[in-house]
């Protein structure tokens, strides 16, 4: 193989290797440890409802959260009628997050390669980023973070290219990536806004023409604006609300109110956000300072592209400060690619940025020179690598990592100085959704007709993901749900599946329609049995047999 062919094959090798790694970890977590993430499983259930419920329609995916993670699973979820384990163990979600995060690693590798970093440094930052425990975990657990990180890092790389090539195709791809990132997570609005500002400023400084700067900004921002408008308009047409995330009883604002999980603001919120950033990217402050100094010294505009990731991180800090999000470590995951990208920018530029169609203001890439030889890249790589063990330890800390600390019970169940209470809590977190799987198995064994069980999916989504017969359930995405809920017996419902009217259960449709249904059946049926949940923060279920 020629040298050119070898260089071109490297991204494919990187992508395939890390996809296999993340798939292997995901299969172990799902099938080996039975440890699933609720948000990932709920997207699986939504997708299954859209395809295989008693009233299948695409709008059943829902409009509370962004749709890309669910839409990407449609092909595999369609097979779950024959292979229910695909959704029962959230494998369809893993099949999306693994290649997405591997693609993010590939973009980091490509960024360092195009910067003409030394080969050892390029492979070093690729491995440090790809093997960071937070990146591995979110590449393996089916969450939306993988898609989001990929698209944002892709946008950063394309912006870096555009600053040299002035190729409109680089700008268009960056805009496309940001638009797609909005369909993965709402945080992309901050990224797109910051990127647009950078493009307008850089374009104006190069051309000294206001119309050129505005046009470049529009090219970049248009895909995000289109994604926002189409998603909001579709939501409004289907649900009557353009921003269901904020107005729906299932939305983020309602979840925060029901769970009491938001911050109270003030200095404590800022301290928490700072701690989350530090544990994910301990060297971020040092690397940022060095990068700024070197960029000014070299008159290098390329590090400006990192503002996209800074904006995402700032958005996470701001929303937590305002009490709009939960204290979750994953909301600060952009600190990891930010740290790696800044480290790449600390290395002197070199080589030629190749492009098929350079723009009228394309520039020859400056060949940076820096005293000290390998001192800067060696120092950067050591700083990156030194922080990885620190992040791994933080991920199993209950105070710093509410969602991930149960990994301790999965990876090192017998090690560490944990109290008995903490051990039980972590084991209960790992056991989340076990009860719902058993409920699904029991109801499947009854051989019920379509529409025989009515429930809300606010807590019941694991049942929809686990059942072999999703058509036996009447759920809120069914267009006749309200009609059936108003008179279950007359509409052929045989069972009510209820949860307590507390916490998130206050938004359960059955509790809203019949406030005493979980306590006494609301004169609709007799108690068949009660199931105490083995999972952490999961409800006690009651199955009521509807009176004839």
Reduce the DSSP state of residue 396 to 3 states and report it. coil
For 332-370, the pLDDT digits (tens) are 999 999 999 999 999 998 878 888 888 888 887 777 775
How many CA atoms does the CB half-sphere of 465 hold within 13 Å? 34
The reported pLDDT for the residue numbered 462 is: 98
CA-to-CA distance for 9 and 24, rounded, in angstroms? 23
> Would the pLDDT of 261 be above 70?
no
The per-residue pLDDT of the chain, averaged, comes to 93
For 62-74, the pLDDT digits (tens) are 888 899 999 999 9
Determine the average pLDDT of the residues in 30-43.
96
Determine the average pLDDT of the residues in 71-89.
97
Q: Which tokens belong to 143?
A: 């969450």
The reported pLDDT for the residue numbered 3 is: 54
Q: What are the strands of the beta sheet with 525-531, ordered from one edge?
A: 473-474, 453-454, 495-498, 541-546, 525-531
| C-alpha dist (Å) from residue 314 to 181, 334, 338, 357 | 17, 10, 12, 35
pLDDT band at 6 (very low <50, low <70, confident <90, very high): low
The reported pLDDT for the residue numbered 498 is: 98
Determine the average pLDDT of the residues in 494-500.
98
For 369-401, the pLDDT digits (tens) are 755 568 899 999 999 999 999 999 999 999 999
B/e letters for 215-249, b = 16+ CB within 10 Å, e = fewer, are: bbbebbbbbbbebbeebeeebeeeeebbebbeebb
- Whether 186 and 245 have beta carbons less than 8 Å apart is answered as yes
> Would the pLDDT of 87 be above 60?
yes
- Whether 204 and 213 have beta carbons less than 8 Å apart is answered as yes
Least confident range from 46-55, 60-69, 234-243, 256-265: namely 256-265
Sign of the CA dihedral running 393, 398, 403, 405 = positive
CA-to-CA distance for 473 and 448, rounded, in angstroms? 9
The reported pLDDT for the residue numbered 8 is: 67
Sign of the CA dihedral running 25, 44, 394, 405 = negative
pLDDT band at 44 (very low <50, low <70, confident <90, very high): very high
For 245-260, the pLDDT digits (tens) are 777 777 777 777 777 6
The reported pLDDT for the residue numbered 251 is: 73
- Where does residue 48 rank: exposed (0-12), middle (13-18), buried (19+ CB within 10 A)? buried
How many CA atoms does the CB half-sphere of 237 hold within 13 Å? 7
For 425-440, the pLDDT digits (tens) are 999 999 999 999 999 9
- Whether 341 and 108 have beta carbons less than 8 Å apart is answered as yes
CA-to-CA distance for 373 and 404, rounded, in angstroms? 40
Least confident range from 162-166, 198-202, 444-448: namely 162-166
| C-alpha dist (Å) from residue 108 to 153, 340, 389, 543 | 7, 8, 20, 51
For 118-154, the pLDDT digits (tens) are 999 999 999 999 999 999 999 999 999 999 999 999 9
> Would the pLDDT of 453 be above 60?
yes
CA-to-CA distance for 474 and 390, rounded, in angstroms? 47
pTM: 0.95
> Would the pLDDT of 314 be above 70?
yes
Sign of the CA dihedral running 243, 244, 247, 252 = negative
Least confident range from 49-53, 271-275, 422-426, 434-438: namely 422-426
The reported pLDDT for the residue numbered 248 is: 75
Query: Domain limits of the chain?
Result: 3-34+90-407, 434-546
Q: Report the percent of the chain where pLDDT is more than 70.
A: 97
The reported pLDDT for the residue numbered 255 is: 78
> Would the pLDDT of 415 be above 80?
no
| C-alpha dist (Å) from residue 423 to 93, 321, 401, 429, 540 | 28, 31, 15, 10, 21
pLDDT band at 7 (very low <50, low <70, confident <90, very high): low
pLDDT band at 510 (very low <50, low <70, confident <90, very high): very high
| C-alpha dist (Å) from residue 114 to 78, 105, 363 | 40, 14, 15
In this structure, what are the phi and psi dihedrals at residue 78, rounded to the nearest 5 degrees?
Answer: -60, -20
B/e letters for 419-440, b = 16+ CB within 10 Å, e = fewer, are: eeebeebbebbbbbbbbbbebb
CA-to-CA distance for 112 and 125, rounded, in angstroms? 8
């Amino acid at each position: 193989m020629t040298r050119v062919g070898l260089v071109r094959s490297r991204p494919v090798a990187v992508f395939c290797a890390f996809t296999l790694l993340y798939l292997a970890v995901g299969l172990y977590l799902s099938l080996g440890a039975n440890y699933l993430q609720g948000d990932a499983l709920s997207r699986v259930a939504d997708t299954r409802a859209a395809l295989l419920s008693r009233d299948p329609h695409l709008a059943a995916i829902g409009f509370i959260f962004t749709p890309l993670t669910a839409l990407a699973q449609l092909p595999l979820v369609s097979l779950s009628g024959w292979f229910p384990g695909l959704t029962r163990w959230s494998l369809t979600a893993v099949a999306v997050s693994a290649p997405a995060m591997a693609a993010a690693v590939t973009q980091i590798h490509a960024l360092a390669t195009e910067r003409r970093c030394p080969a050892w440094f390029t492979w070093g930052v690729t491995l440090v980023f790809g093997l960071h425990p937070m990146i591995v975990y979110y590449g393996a657990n089916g969450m939306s973070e993988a898609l989001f990180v990929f698209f944002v890092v892709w946008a950063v790389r394309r912006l870096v290219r555009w600053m040299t090539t002035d190729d409109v195709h680089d700008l268009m791809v960056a805009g496309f990536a940001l638009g797609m990132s909005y369909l993965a997570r709402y945080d992309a609005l901050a990224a797109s806004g910051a990127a647009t500002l950078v493009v307008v400023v850089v374009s104006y400084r190069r051309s000294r023409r206001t119309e050129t700067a505005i046009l470049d900004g529009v090219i970049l921002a248009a895909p995000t604006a289109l994604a926002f408008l189409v998603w909001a308009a579709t939501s409004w047409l289907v649900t009557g609300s353009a921003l269901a995330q904020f107005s729906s009883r299932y939305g983020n604002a309602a979840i925060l109110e029901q769970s009491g999980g938001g911050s109270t603001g003030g200095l404590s919120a800022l301290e928490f956000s700072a701690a989350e950033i530090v544990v994910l990217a301990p060297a971020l402050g040092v690397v940022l300072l060095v990068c700024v100094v070197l960029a000014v010294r070299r008159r290098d505009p390329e590090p400006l592209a990192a503002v996209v990731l800074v904006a995402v991180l700032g958005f996470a800090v701001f929303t937590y400060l305002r009490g709009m999000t939960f204290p979750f470590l994953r909301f600060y995951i952009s600190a990891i690619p930010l740290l790696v990208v800044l480290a790449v920018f600390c290395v002197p530029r070199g080589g030629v940025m190749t492009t098929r169609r350079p723009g009228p203001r394309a520039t020859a890439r400056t060949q940076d020179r820096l005293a000290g030889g390998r001192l800067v890249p060696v120092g950067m790589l050591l700083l990156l690598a030194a922080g990885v063990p620190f992040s791994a330890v933080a991920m199993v800390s209950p105070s710093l990592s509410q969602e991930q600390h149960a990994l301790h019970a999965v990876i090192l169940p017998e090690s560490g100085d944990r109290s008995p209470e903490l051990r039980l809590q972590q084991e209960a977190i790992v056991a989340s959704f076990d009860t719902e799987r058993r409920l699904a198995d029991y109801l499947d064994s009854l051989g019920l007709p379509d529409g025989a069980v009515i429930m809300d999916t606010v807590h019941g989504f694991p049942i929809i993901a686990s059942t072999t017969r999703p058509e036996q359930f009447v759920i809120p995405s069914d267009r006749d749900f309200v009609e059936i809920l108003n008179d279950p017996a007359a509409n052929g419902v045989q069972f009510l599946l209820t949860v307590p009217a507390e916490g998130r259960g206050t938004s359960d449709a059955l509790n809203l329609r019949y406030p005493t249904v979980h306590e006494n059946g609301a004169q609709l049926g007799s108690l068949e049995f009660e199931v105490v949940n083995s999972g952490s923060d999961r409800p006690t279920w009651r199955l009521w047999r509807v009176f004839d």
